[in-house]
Structure 1
Amino acid sequence: MASDEYVPLYVQIGRHVRSQILGGQLNDGDAIPSEPSLMKTFGTTRGTVRQAIGELVNEGLVRREQGKGTFVQFRPMTHSIWNFGGFSDSIRGRAGLGVARVIEHEVIDVDGEPTLRLVRLRGIRTPEGDESIHSLDTSHLSLRLFPGLDTVDFENASLYQTLRERYGVHPHRTELSLTTVAPDAAVFALLGETPRSPALVTLRGHAYDGDDRQIEQIEIVYSSSIEFKISTTMPSTGD
């Protein structure tokens, strides 16, 4: 497993504070640890700490108040897209068997980092033997973080189960943006769509483990047969 020696200190500090906020140790309105405290904890300079805090400000997780400090501005709002997650996990218990067809499986260079690019068609085979394609999934994963991952046959293995069992890494959360796109002819053909099909829903973003470490870059293009159901829970604000 890769260690934090490859991760800039300001990123490590940001992860530390972000984890405290998202984990509930720091709540909306709480002051985050002071600059001197973070400097001591991470053995670094004020400039590095301020760079980390600046990133959190840009993300909207904290706000600076002149002469007072830096405070959390985070009110939990849960958006749950039903059945989203690792595909094999999401269909467990349902009638049918998850199937995958690997379209691309190659090692590429991303900013000097050896990276597995994995493109798969995902779907379900019914007990009667019929197959339906649900999505085209593209994953990028660091081979420095997951050495040997490029040797796994992902037509017969679950990606997230492999991360859990082989590397001891448990996908914990995702940050994704949802858009609609009009894919090119090759994507339409892979998903069994026609040029008259509507624009397809696409999710793009990243998956993180319990230590708030990015473990996967994700892009999922769903077929037009997929229906999304989204539930939202927001805390009462008294408004």
Structure 2
Amino acid sequence: MVFDKNCVTPLYVQLKAELMNRINNGILKSGEQLPPELEMAENFSVSVVTVRSAVNELVKEGLIEKKRGKGTFVSNTKYKRDYTKIQSFSDSCRAMGSVAGSRVLEMKLEKADSSLAQKLGVNSGDRVLYISRLRTVNGEPMVIEKNYFPERFADLLNEDLEKNSLFLILQEKYGVTVTKSSKEVEIARTTSEEGKLLNLSKNYPILLVKSVAYDQFDTPVYVGSQAINGERFTLKI
């Protein structure tokens, strides 16, 4: 491609626009390495300085990242989760045009300690249902969910939560609709187990979202946490 050197728009801006267009249209794919600056300069018939200026602008905007000793790469796709809306993980992925997946890690009944019992509105020592799932986006592991439900939802043990929406089961089987939730977001670091599940190293920074969800009658439905790969997710709160 040859740019118009007589145009009032600087060459680096023209090149930046071309690279951005290729990224947005999937010609340059997420995680793909860009050619060296000299090669790009030759391909686009511009100077190395022009290439460097265009690339630096895209780095500032987060579309491209430089990895020391490795080169320049198209940044990994950032997925968005809108916490101002009450929606399931599956619905949020669908809104992004992505495919949600789920793998059940653990499902069991256990006794609630005093802190959990207070949040769930049950008595300390009462049985509660614990469900842990690994959530994926387009096949990539992104979130580890850990949720505690009152014992009245114990029949969820018999449901296929890898293929079916938990929110939909709550609506259809229990007549329960999650209408609001309180959330706290903090920075945490992965344990060895979390790192393996999310394909991250141990002690890697992640987003930890703690929540209590309520139904249409303001009754607690579940108390949960989500360990999220913050590099790949943007949260709207």
Report the TM range for the smaller structure's normalisation: 0.5 to 0.7
Please give the alpha-carbon distance, in whole angstroms, between the structure 2 residues aligned to 1:158 and 1:120. 12
Aligned to 1:214: 220
Evaluate the alpha carbon distance shift between residue 83 and residue 175 of structure 1 in structure 2; reply closer, same or farther with a 3 A threshold.
closer
Would the aligned equivalents of 2:208 and 2:226 in 1 still touch at CA under 8 Å? yes
Flag structure 1 segments of 5+ consecutive residues without an equivalent. 1-79, 126-130, 232-239
Mapped pair 1:161 → 2:174: no
1:85 shift after superposition: 3.6
Would the aligned equivalents of 1:84 and 1:90 in 2 still touch at CA under 8 Å? no
Aligned to 1:135: 143
Please give the alpha-carbon distance, in whole angstroms, between the structure 1 residues aligned to 2:101 and 2:85. 16
TM norm structure 2: 0.56
Would the aligned equivalents of 1:182 and 1:200 in 2 still touch at CA under 8 Å? yes
Secondary structure in 2 matching 1:92? helix
Please give the alpha-carbon distance, in whole angstroms, between the structure 1 residues aligned to 2:98 and 2:181. 26
Matches within 5 A, 1:169-180: 169-180=176-187
Please give the alpha-carbon distance, in whole angstroms, between the structure 1 residues aligned to 2:181 and 2:213. 4
Matches within 5 A, 1:27-66: none
Flag structure 2 segments of 5+ consecutive residues without an equivalent. 1-81, 113-123
Q: Deviations over 1:185-212 (max 9, x none)?
A: 1111111101373x11000020001111
Would the aligned equivalents of 1:171 and 1:209 in 2 still touch at CA under 8 Å? yes
1:94 shift after superposition: 3.9
Aligned to 1:61: none
Aligned to 1:112: 125
Would the aligned equivalents of 1:82 and 1:229 in 2 still touch at CA under 8 Å? no
TM norm structure 1: 0.56
Higher radius of gyration, 1 or 2: 2
Aligned to 2:191: 184
Mapped pair 1:123 → 2:136: yes
Please give the alpha-carbon distance, in whole angstroms, between the structure 1 residues aligned to 2:202 and 2:215. 38
1:83 shift after superposition: 7.0
Q: How many correspondences in the alignment?
A: 145
Evaluate the alpha carbon distance shift between residue 169 and residue 82 of structure 1 in structure 2; reply closer, same or farther with a 3 A threshold.
closer
Secondary structure in 1 matching 2:230? coil
Please give the alpha-carbon distance, in whole angstroms, between the structure 2 residues aligned to 1:211 and 1:83. 18
Residue type of the alignment partner of 2:90: S
Would the aligned equivalents of 1:121 and 1:137 in 2 still touch at CA under 8 Å? yes
Mapped pair 1:88 → 2:90: yes
More helix by share: 2
1:92 shift after superposition: 2.3
1:81 shift after superposition: 3.3
1:91 shift after superposition: 1.7
Please give the alpha-carbon distance, in whole angstroms, between the structure 2 residues aligned to 1:181 and 1:152. 31
Percent identity, please. 21
Residue type of the alignment partner of 1:98: A
Would the aligned equivalents of 2:86 and 2:179 in 1 still touch at CA under 8 Å? no
Please give the alpha-carbon distance, in whole angstroms, between the structure 2 residues aligned to 1:123 and 1:99. 5
Please give the alpha-carbon distance, in whole angstroms, between the structure 2 residues aligned to 1:212 and 1:89. 22
1:101 shift after superposition: 0.6
Would the aligned equivalents of 2:129 and 2:154 in 1 still touch at CA under 8 Å? no
Please give the alpha-carbon distance, in whole angstroms, between the structure 1 residues aligned to 2:150 and 2:235. 32
Evaluate the alpha carbon distance shift between residue 147 and residue 93 of structure 1 in structure 2; reply closer, same or farther with a 3 A threshold.
same
